[in-house]
Amino acid sequence: MSRAQRLFIADDWRDSADGAVLPIIDPATEEQIGSVPVATPTDLDDALEAAEYGARHCRRLSAHERSACLRRMAQGIRKQSDDIARSVTLETGKPLAESRAEVLATAEHFDWNAEEARRVYGHVLQEREADTRFEVRYEPLGVVAAITAWNFPALLPGRKLSAALAAGCSVILKPSEEAPSAAFALAEIAAAAGLPTGALAVVTGDPARISSHLLSSGRVRKLSFTGSVGVGKLLMQQAAHGLTKLALELGGHGPVLIFPDADPEATATACARAKFRNAGQVCISPSRFFVHRSIAARFRDAFVRYARDLRIGNGLDPEVEMGPLTNTRRFEAAQALVADALAGGGKLLAGGGRPASQQRGFFFEPTVLADVAPEARILHEEPFVPVAPILEFDDFDQVLARANALPFGLAAYLFTNDLATAEHAADALEAGMVGINDFALAAAEAPFGGVKQSGIGREGGALGIREFLEAKTLKTVFRGN
């Protein structure tokens, strides 16, 4: 095995204790391109022991020492950005330009949290009596378990890791077994940057067994998870036994409200570009398009033109604009969602299946639907596929009710040139993030997270590091003359 396909525990690269591995598949060719080790309980116990050792040493580092280490990691990520981006494309299928942007965004999180490490301010309370003082300090939680998904295999681990290390915690990172190479690259970079031994472990294998073992150990003080609502609920139940703190970034089903004063063609182009990014496999992807009836026809026509003109193929080709879905599960989900919508009376405007030019790989055409029935699965289940249902509306209150009807509340979007409409709609939308005339919600300086069943807690921004800190109150009574 190569170094990038081995467990990283206590600054050591090693095979799993029993040598078991899982295949890594290139979604553009369906060929095996590597393998990833399956961690055993012994491996996980070693990672826990190392993480406890690392946590003790991390908390003793000064804020400036942690900051300097994170800066070096950011520099290391940028130096290796081309290699990491290529591995991301090989494992996920996304176009190389999107992979490069993801890797550079990951470096930004390390730069941001390098500064946040020096901004963890406590405070002193006004005394009740002249010889007393209350003080509040913030201390690292300790060992953190971070579990991430496959759709952003560099950014998701980096966002968690940078904040946890900035706070002075150690991390056991479990990336997706389908796209692990970027996480292992982060481990290499962390070791070269001088991170204390044991501060970071990277383990792979059976997700359910790993999460259960870590959460039942009594050693993990915080779980940070990005993934589906169903798995998030299961982890929440497991964490309850040890009252383990949680941060959950779960599913979404982003509504887009396009009001009558918006430019239909320009808005449709922006919507389609955002929808088909990473083949729709983005948690904050716009996925329900509510268009005012007065501009709906022009919007649909422009959206369809964009979908039909997209260049589909292997993400390593610089001319490709949309790659395959990452795995066969998403391909089958796309087929099922489209079939269900059409069976209920929906109209297929573009796409709908495998491109004729791609007979291998998990490729699915950019797909546009109209006249979708209210009960269609695509309007209720997080799609995570390149399928866009376009719906019409007439009334402001009605469209707000439809947008808020689902249990999801991660991201929502609206397009209008009227300030009053924008403010009213943004206030009414039940989402942790709202984009007004824009889809670029994820940034190192901005809190990222949802409401309702889309999650608990925030990542990024000034709030991100707080997820890994505990407040301690001190009272001092001064004795003396």
DSSP 1-21: --GGGSEEETTEEE--TT--E
One domain for residues 288 and 416 = yes
Which strand (E) or helix (H) includes residue 135? strand 132-140
CATH number, residue 333: 3.40.309.10
Distances (CA, A) of 180 to 35, 90, 147: 10, 11, 12
* pLDDT above 70 as % of the chain: 99
266-275 b/e with 16+ CB inside 10 Å = b? ebbbbbbebb
Q: pLDDT per residue over 86-119, tens digit each?
A: 999 999 999 999 999 999 999 999 999 999 999 9
Q: pLDDT per residue over 429-444, tens digit each?
A: 999 999 999 999 999 9
**Domain span at residue 273?**
254-443
How high is the mean pLDDT of the chain?
A: 96
One domain for residues 136 and 178 = yes
Token pair of 396, please?
Answer: 């402001």
Q: pLDDT per residue over 442-473, tens digit each?
A: 999 999 999 999 999 999 999 999 999 999 99
Q: What's the helix, strand, coil split of the chain in %, to 5? A: 40, 20, 35
Per-residue confidence at 2, pLDDT binned at 50, 70, 90? very low
Given a contact cutoff of 8 angstroms between Cβ atoms, the answer to whether 438 and 140 are in contact is no
What mean pLDDT comes out for the span 202-208? 97
φ, ψ of residue 149 to 5 degrees: the values are -95, 175
> Which is nearest to 54 in space by CA: 69, 33, 39?
69
Residue 16 pLDDT > 60, yes or no? yes
Predicted pLDDT at 11: 94
Q: pLDDT per residue over 143-156, tens digit each?
A: 999 999 999 999 99
One domain for residues 289 and 354 = yes
Lowest mean pLDDT among 120-129, 190-199, 331-340, 363-372: 120-129
Predicted pLDDT at 388: 98
Which strand (E) or helix (H) includes residue 157? helix 155-167
283 is catalytic: yes
CA angle 209, 212, 214 (to 5 degrees): 105
One domain for residues 381 and 266 = yes
Residue 126 pLDDT > 90, yes or no? no
Per-residue confidence at 3, pLDDT binned at 50, 70, 90? very low
> Does residue 138 sit within a domain?
yes
Given a contact cutoff of 8 angstroms between Cβ atoms, the answer to whether 124 and 135 are in contact is yes
One domain for residues 439 and 292 = yes
How far apart (Å, rounded) are the C-alpha atoms in residues 325 and 477? 63
One domain for residues 314 and 420 = yes
Per-residue confidence at 480, pLDDT binned at 50, 70, 90? low
58 is catalytic: no
Given a contact cutoff of 8 angstroms between Cβ atoms, the answer to whether 132 and 480 are in contact is no
How many domains does the chain divide into?
2
Predicted pLDDT at 475: 93
* pLDDT above 90 as % of the chain: 96
Residue 305 pLDDT > 60, yes or no? yes
Residue 353 pLDDT > 80, yes or no? yes
> Does residue 481 sit within a domain?
no
Catalytic hit among 98, 108, 177, 249: 249
One domain for residues 156 and 265 = no
Distances (CA, A) of 78 to 185, 340, 416, 426, 450: 12, 44, 37, 36, 29
Cβ neighbours of residue 328 under 8 Å, at least 6 residues apart?
Answer: 362
One domain for residues 421 and 459 = no
Name the burial class of residue 32, with classes exposed (0-12), middle (13-18) and buried (19+) by CB atoms within 10 angstroms of its CB. exposed
Predicted pLDDT at 411: 98
Catalytic hit among 283, 382, 392, 430: 283
